[in-house]
Structure 1
Amino acid sequence: MTTEPLPVQNEAGVTKTPRALARARKRQSLARFWREYRTHRGGLWGLAGLVLIALIAVFAPTLVGADSQSVTDAPGGALESPSGEFPLGTDQFGRSVLALLVWGARVSLTVGLLAAFLCVAIGTVVGIVAGHFHGWYSTVLMRVTDWFLVMPTLVLAIALATVMDRSIWTVILAIGVTTWPTTARLVRAQTLAVESRPYIERARALGGGHGHIMARHVLPNVMPLVLAQTTLVISSAILTEATLAFLGLGDPTITSWGGMLQDAREAGAVSAGDWWYLAPPGIAIALVALSFTLCGRAIESVLNPKLGVAR
């Protein structure tokens, strides 16, 4: 038989259940977070850029048409310079570079978000377990983390992408399983700080097990750090995906910004001086990475004001 939590009367005399009070506190925390975030001009610029790029990616079929990636139905000539019909020129097949740039936003954002989620998930689990348990558990986990940390991330990603099928999921997996050590070390340090607090000792004294302490006490306290780290990892993941695609290790059947750079190099755009084929995807990669970095710095500053990040 379960018992319902007793209602609580707040300072204004209004009776609310503990669940309603928890929801109210969450809304207040979000409102306070947004008020602090708005004071960071760089974070606002980064957020505006991400919203714009996300809208472009979502509405790509409406903006440029679903058949704009087709090689057989290309509307222009090979490597035409920018004009009124093609604002960013055409590629070697006669396709609009602007249309390809819009479609590439979908792949780059998808790879960045999913790879960052995988990276942060692995790093968070390893960091919490290594910080909570002591003895050989922590030693083994941290030695594995150190091994991944000293190995060149790009080399490991290239090795995984080479031995596996060339697909977008391979790129996501290659990035996710090679970039988690930094997150793991940050989360472990935060876990050690959290578990030194008195309420953790009280939880143990009341019979709280390892799973209860890690899930109910440690994880909520490290989530702000994980959130800030996620935004920074996304920009790194997008750059890594572009590098793998540029090296010819991406999925050749999809359009991505890194793949556009690879196609431009193979088409001789570098030697021919066809800047309209090279510059747009490179600038798009830089802008998205910068936007995520600005958002990450602003979030980090809001969650930890002692950092003193410039506004």
Structure 2
Amino acid sequence: MSTDAKTLSPRAVTWARRRQATRRAWDAYRVQRSGMVGLVLLGAIVLLAIAAPLLVSPADLSVTQATGGRMDPPSAGFPLGTDTNGRSVLALVLWGSRLSLVIGLTATVVAIVIGTLLGLTSGYYGGWYGWFTLRFSDWFMVLPSLVVAIALLAVMGRSVVTTIVVIAIVSWSGTTRLVRAQTLTVKSRPYLERARALGAGDWHQMTKHLLPNVLPLVLASATLLVPSAILMESTLAWLGLGDPTVISWGSILNEASNQGAVSARAWWYLLPPGLAILLVVLSFMMCGRALEAVFNPRLRGESS
């Protein structure tokens, strides 16, 4: 060990090791071609969503200020055609990306926090609490998610907040089982036995030893959970259960279906939001599979 390493504080050594682990993970991720393609695609979608207020004016979203005809085909003024109110479909898709991504990401964060908390504590404490948590998560896993979400929205009302809460409620159970299994594996390792022998408390063991070891799997799980949340939000909005006052990809599809875009053969009204959902789901899936390969070396040959 060098003199500089000996003079570093324990906290500095810990952060240095974490930086090295992050660099190794990034190096392993970069060789996953599908993961890099998904990352670039996802970055482009996020940038367009962030820049939407600069690219789309309030007049483009207003029904009363629309300048196009009813479901006009693509033209120079409207590259993706117009909707039933004469608004630009391109402007609607760009603006709708903001809500779809926000709901998908926020619902995923809430579900991941709930699942990680329950999985970590149930795996660590075990006993009747661990048994009850496992059975409770099993019960949620066997329930049809879409049916449960529809029932909850019917009771709680239609809004962005309730949509996020409902999606999180039907999405946390898988993370709980994953974190619990990893916690049980890490809990049996010798260094945790030494920590307990030295007087480390439950909080110290869970936050300093168990949580850092389960976070990589949680991150990989989150990237696969986001597309599911976006699909759920789009499906609920398409069924007419989303917030009617906001624009999302699902609400665009709902409006197109209700206004007869299929019978009118207005493909430009249906295809752009559908392709946008497909692209963002595909990009998250590619990133998630690449992260799985990074954290599970046995999968690296399959994901590249």
TM-score category, normalised to shorter length: over 0.9
Residue type matched to 1:92 in 2? T
CA RMSD of aligned residues (A): 1.5
Aligned positions of 1:18-167 closer than 5 A: 18-167=10-159
Q: Structure 1: where are the runs of 5+ without partners?
A: 1-8
Relative distance call for 1:68 and 1:175 in structure 2 (3 A) is same
Residue type matched to 2:177 in 1? R
Relative distance call for 1:295 and 1:13 in structure 2 (3 A) is closer
Instruction: Give the Å deviation of 1:139.
Output: 1.2
Contact 1:111 1:172 in 2 (8 A): yes
Classify the secondary structure of the residue corresponding to 2:60. Answer: coil
Relative distance call for 1:51 and 1:178 in structure 2 (3 A) is same
Classify the secondary structure of the residue corresponding to 2:303. Answer: coil
Residue type matched to 2:141 in 1? L
Residue type matched to 1:146 in 2? D
Instruction: Give the Å deviation of 1:15.
Output: 4.2
Residue in 1 that maps onto 2:303: 310
Classify the secondary structure of the residue corresponding to 2:241. Answer: coil
Instruction: Give the Å deviation of 1:30.
Output: 2.1
Residue in 2 that maps onto 1:197: 189
Pick which of 97-106 and 204-213 moved more. Answer: 204-213
Pick which of 279-288 and 161-170 moved more. Answer: 161-170
Contact 1:126 1:184 in 2 (8 A): yes
Are 1:270 and 2:262 an aligned pair? yes
Residue in 2 that maps onto 1:239: 231
Cα deviations across residues 58-106 of structure 1 (Å, max 9, x unaligned)? 1111112233211111121110000111010000000000000000110
Are 1:283 and 2:283 an aligned pair? no
TM-score by length of 1: 0.94
Residue in 2 that maps onto 1:301: 293
Instruction: Give the Å deviation of 1:42.
Output: 0.5
Cα distance between partner residues in 2 of 1:126 and 1:14: 39
Are 1:185 and 2:182 an aligned pair? no
Cα deviations across residues 132-166 of structure 1 (Å, max 9, x unaligned)? 12221111111111110110011111111111121
Cα distance between partner residues in 2 of 1:41 and 1:217: 32
Instruction: Give the Å deviation of 1:126.
Output: 1.1
Residue in 2 that maps onto 1:5: none
Pick which of 59-68 and 99-108 moved more. Answer: 59-68
Instruction: Give the Å deviation of 1:294.
Output: 0.4
Contact 1:248 1:259 in 2 (8 A): yes
Cα distance between partner residues in 2 of 1:157 and 1:263: 21
Relative distance call for 1:216 and 1:19 in structure 2 (3 A) is closer
Cα distance between partner residues in 2 of 1:237 and 1:100: 20
Classify the secondary structure of the residue corresponding to 2:245. Answer: coil
Cα distance between partner residues in 2 of 1:253 and 1:243: 17
Contact 1:10 1:16 in 2 (8 A): no
TM-score by length of 2: 0.96
Count of residues in Structure 1 that have an aligned counterpart in Structure 2? 303
Cα distance between partner residues in 2 of 1:10 and 1:162: 64
Contact 2:289 2:303 in 1 (8 A): no
Instruction: Give the Å deviation of 1:14.
Output: 8.2
